Amino acid sequence: MSQDTPSTPKLTASTHSLRGRLLWFVLAAILLAALLQAATAYRGALQQADAMFDDHLQQMARSLRSGIPLGSPLIDGDEDASFDLYVQIWGQDGTQLFRSTRSALPPRAVLGFSDVEANGNRYRVYTLQTALQTVQIAQDLDARSARARALALRAVLPFALLTPLLMLAVWWVISLSLAPIERARRQVAGRSADDFSPLAPTGLPDEVRPLVDELNLLFGRVRGAFDAQKNFVADAAHELRSPLTALKLQAQALRRGDDDPAEREAGIARLNQGIDRAIRLVEQLLVLAREEGGPGQNPEGRDNVSLHEVVRLAVADVLPLAGHKQIDLGLADQPGAQVPPVPGQGEALRIMLRNLLDNAVKYTPAGGQVDVSLQLQQGQPVLTVEDSGPGIAAQDLPRVFDRFFRASDVALETGSGLGLAIVKAIAERHGATLALDRSSRLGGLKVEVRFAPGPAATTAASAAAH
């Protein structure tokens, strides 16, 4: 039987091509504009043709008002059949002095322009009256419209020829402008999984260059994380090899057996200690990997954490170890304002402080003192851990936060060298800064964790200022 599993939504359903969208909108806009201009030009050309033909009729009528053409009182000539102008002239007494061949116009017409219909044909007529005669000029409307449409089509012809050329030019310009983006896409698509070299920004448009710059910064961060992960795996394998080898040797020694029960019990105790150290090392490795691979300072998924509660829980975790060594572990006198909560993850901050206290208790001699203090300094919560131990030599301070590094003067103590590395990773994730110094009060190491002022601290400081 197969079980229905929630299908992953297809990303391609909502994606689109920038090049295709630009071409579609720009080419459609060009085509619509060309059609609109062509229609406007066609209509304007028809109007201009009508005006031109009317002016032609007027000019002919005015040229004939001074006398009868061809010097004949009435002429029925065999004119060219394609001639579409018809003329009629009457004298003062109404006698027809001239008539064009095939003229089917009515004998009289209104003065000025008019449209008349005769024998199934429509005519545009212009009539002019003078003191001596009346001149009538007519033109077949069908022939006139055909000529007007021919002139209008000539006006539209440039649009029909230039629009495809313009669309082709726009297609070429858009394709050429987006070519660097396509080239960058091919560079990214053809890379191997471990190639984090930056993309070349040459030739990219100004709108895309910031994206490529941010992508190159992301490549740098990923490369740093990738290198750190490789180094972490290599260091972890190296550090785990020694305790596991020791466990194997101890197990082989127990297997060979020993007649002395005391020696056998001592061997089992050493084996258990080795197992505990290996478990502790693996736990610290997992914590470090989780903290270094965390979401950074992303505020999502964070709560307002009470540092007072973090101190209480961390001290309770380390108190049994301190009691075993008869170390005075507790809170130092901390006068001042109540420290406001900080944004972060409570469990991670507890691990950070527990590692600081664990290191302080571990390296402080029996009967010593370890103090924790929490204060508000200039609006910033400050967490301080001080001990009466030997401290850290000046030459080792730059490297104490490195993984698997152990100070030279405490090399004989058991440990993996991961405690302060975990502290640094958690502090960086919470935007806090670390400072190491010698404690002027107890004489040992002083570790100061200074958090950025949160919204509550900022509000309190502003209220105090007013």
- Domain locations along the chain: 16-190, 209-292, 303-465
Q: What 3-state DSSP class applies to 345?
A: coil
Prediction pTM value: 0.49
Q: Which amino acid would we find at residue 63? A: S
- The answer to whether the beta carbons of residues 305 and 343 sit under 8 Å apart is yes
DSSP 425-439: HHHHHTT-EEEEEE-
- Classify domain 209-292 at the CATH topology level: Helix Hairpins (1.10.287)
pLDDT, residue 54, reads 83
Q: What 3-state DSSP class applies to 124?
A: strand
Q: What 3-state DSSP class applies to 98?
A: strand
Q: What 3-state DSSP class applies to 303?
A: strand
Distance CA 88, CA 107 (A): 8
Taken as a whole, the chain contains a residue count of 466
pLDDT, residue 189, reads 80
3-state secondary structure 365-418: CCCCEEEEEEEEECCEEEEEEEECCCCCCHHHHHHCCCCCCCCHHHCCCCCCCC
CA distances from 59 to 55, 132, 294 (A): 6, 18, 93
Distance CA 457, CA 376 (A): 9
pLDDT, residue 100, reads 73
The yes/no answer on whether domain 303-465 falls in CATH 3.30.565.10 is yes
pLDDT, residue 455, reads 56
pLDDT, residue 322, reads 86
Buried b (16+ CB within 10 A) or exposed e, 308-334: eebbeebbeebeeebeeeebebeebee
Residues in the chain with pLDDT values less than 70 = 1-16, 65-84, 101-109, 231-232, 234-243, 257-259, 281, 284, 287-302, 333-337, 403-417, 454-466
pLDDT, residue 180, reads 80
Q: What 3-state DSSP class applies to 246?
A: helix
pLDDT, residue 390, reads 85
